[in-house]
Amino acid sequence: MKIAVTGTTGRVGAALVRHFSPNHEIVPLPRSICDLADPRSLASALEQLECDVFLNPAGITSLEMCEDHPELARRVNSDAPAEIASWAAARNVRVYHFSTDYVFAGEDPGLRDEEEIPHPLSAYGRSKLAGEDAVLAWPGNGVIRVSWVFGPEKTSFVDQIFEAALAGQPLAAISDKFSLPTFTSDLSQWTEHILSQHATGVLHACNSGEPVSWHDMAAAVVEEMLACGVISSLPGIGRQSLAEMRSFRAPRPRFTAMGTSRLAGLLGHPPRLWREALVEYVRSRCSGAC
């Protein structure tokens, strides 16, 4: 199978390339080749492209940037996916667009399923939802929603906590916002299942378990660091509230943990627990720190 992948210098794009490369022909489309913000760059990249599947994890993910530059957010997260989907439909190419739990308002606790009607609060969420709709307007395509992604490809919240704890710096994390993390290694495997089964429509792809806060994740990181022996005692982790984060100018939903029953049906089993995935990743970081 010949697979085109955008955003290959990003966390998800790099993970997908690494996973699929051994058994498939990959056409990497980094920003230097395919800049979704530039219609001419995208058109040029698509002009000579041949592939069976088009994976689109590229996008603007900074909520503040999207809030400050809504037209740019719309261009990258919505208009470009629409152009990709139109191009693909004329060539019988399947498109899988990666989206976000931030399409939900997240007003109430619980798990959001694929049937829940999205109500994004931010320019980022609105642009990503518009991108979803544009891709799904063509039959045979899919949307893969992810949340709180971590992995070795690029620094994430998990890495920030790890490095700060290793350096003995003060730790703090938000304790009143809840979702479910996504490990890039697991996401890549799930994507392979999704492609092999020609699944279409919206799919939630995150690790399973009870909804977790950033504070809970930080606690899990340092507990595993202690178990691995890279720190000598458990550091305290300050509790922050979403409301006190003055740097967060864009509104953020509080409860966006996604249910994965549809993904579980494709896999034949539920995605593994978020803590199991996190422990595996932190252990790999601990071995490198020793």
Choose the catalytic residue: 96, 102, 124, 281: 124
Name the one residue in this structure whose structure tokens are 């290793």. Answer: 166
Q: Is the pLDDT score of 57 beyond 80?
A: yes
- Cα(205)–Cα(26) distance, integer angstroms: 22
The pLDDT tens digits for 258-278 are 999 999 999 999 999 999 999
Cα separations (Å) of 134 from 81, 82, 83, 164, 209?
7, 5, 9, 41, 31
**Structural element, H or E, at residue 180:** none
Query: Is the CB of residue 226 less than 8 Å from the CB of residue 220?
Result: no
Q: What are the tokens at 38?
A: 């530039």
pTM for the model stands at 0.95
Instruction: Please write the tens of the pLDDT for every residue from 115-148.
Output: 999 999 999 999 999 999 999 999 999 999 999 9
Mark whether 124 is an active-site residue. Answer: yes
Instruction: Give tens-digit pLDDT for 111-122.
Output: 999 999 999 999
Domains contained in the chain, CATH given: 2-150+182-208+258-272 (3.40.50.720)
